[in-house]
Amino acid sequence: MGGVLNGSEGKTQQIRKQLQEVIGKAPEIGKFAEYVHVAESPKALDTKTKELISLGIALAVRCEPCIVWHTEAAVRVGTTEEEILDTIKVAVCMGGGPALMYGLKAYEVALEFLEK
């Protein structure tokens, strides 16, 4: 599970740059990015709740870049260590042991961002 989660500092910037490059070459992917922006905007659920939901799903489906992205985003909007841990617990209910292993990495990433 190395790679993306090791040294997560700056990984979201790298992901953002790669996305912009791909969207530049395949603009139709930008339509999906527009939808994501709308879906993640606060409505009935606030931004923090949506980021925690996204993190839980990322853990359950084992998407390493998504874990880094949504962990940083969750911390940026005020998520606490306890809220990260609760999210990991729910993800483990849905994703079992593999979600727990990825949850450990998400916790490590969260602590890194919380220390900033």
Q: Which residues contact 60 (CB under 8 A, 6 or more apart)?
A: 91, 94, 95, 99
**Averaged pLDDT, 98-116:** 93
Q: What is the pLDDT of residues 59-69, one digit of tens each?
A: 999 999 999 99
Listed residue (58, 112, 63) closest to 90, CA to CA: 58
For residue 7, what pLDDT is reported? 62
Residue 9 pLDDT > 80, yes or no?
A: no
Question: Residue 17, SS3?
Answer: helix
Ordered domains of the chain (ranges, CATH): 7-114 (1.20.1290.10)
Q: Which residue has the higher pLDDT, 116 or 30?
A: 30
- Of 54, 110, 107, nearest in space to 78 by CA: 110
For 68-73, what is the mean pLDDT? Answer: 96
What sign for the dihedral angle of Cα 62, 105, 32, 52?
positive
pLDDT of residue 106: 94
- The half-sphere exposure of 8 on its side-chain side, counting CA atoms within 13 A, is 25
Q: What is the pLDDT of residue 1?
A: 44
Q: Are 55 and 87 in contact (CB under 8 A)?
A: yes
Q: What is the pLDDT of residue 2?
A: 47
